[in-house]
Amino acid sequence: MFSLDLVFLGCKLENIFKRMRLGLFFMDLDLMQRSLQQAEPLVELGADWQSRNCFNFNKALHCIAIRNFDTATDLLVSAIATFVCTEIMAYADFIKYTVLCGALILKRGDVKKLLIDNPEIQQALHYNSTLREYLFSLHECEYRLFYQRLADIEVK
């Protein structure tokens, strides 16, 4: 059955997500934090899967901004298959942030399991040889190449 409350819930969440994007654009961490706090109970109340995914992605971006890479990595890795926030960034950039955060935080076995063996990441890395070499050189302990690719990623 169609509920008017769910429509209003979706509109409220969409407005909060737009405020989060403004906070991200201006790097207003306080606005991002307040928006996340307002969105969380609404998402728990019964948001659809797209709103949940957008909430988790926005939360991951906030975690990156405040340098909480552990939580950001968990959220980004879990959102790989269901990424829907193309209004914020392209899928290729999303994969780049996922790989960079994962390389910082994950243990070597988890890097292989969650990043290298992930088919969505493999497909995206096919088009970004620098990021692919960065990830594989870290996993294969080729640190000279790893730092070269890290520098290449920084200038791009």
**Contact (CB, 8 A) for 132 and 95:** no
Q: What is the domain count for the chain?
A: 1
The CATH number assigned to the domain holding 89 equals 1.25.40.570
Distance CA 59, CA 83 (A): 13
Alpha-carbon 125 to chain mean position: 16
Domain that holds residue 126: 4-155
Query: What pLDDT sits at residue 69?
Result: 97
pLDDT per residue, tens digit, the chain (156 aa), is: 445 455 688 789 999 999 999 999 999 999 999 999 999 999 998 778 899 999 999 999 999 999 999 999 999 999 999 999 999 999 999 999 999 999 999 999 999 999 999 999 999 999 999 999 999 999 999 999 999 999 999 997
Distance CA 93, CA 79 (A): 13
Query: What pLDDT sits at residue 3?
Result: 53
Distance CA 16, CA 32 (A): 9
Helix, strand or coil, per DSSP, at residue 143:
helix
Query: What pLDDT sits at residue 7?
Result: 61
Q: Taking the CB of residue 101, how many other CB atoms lie within 10 A of it?
A: 24
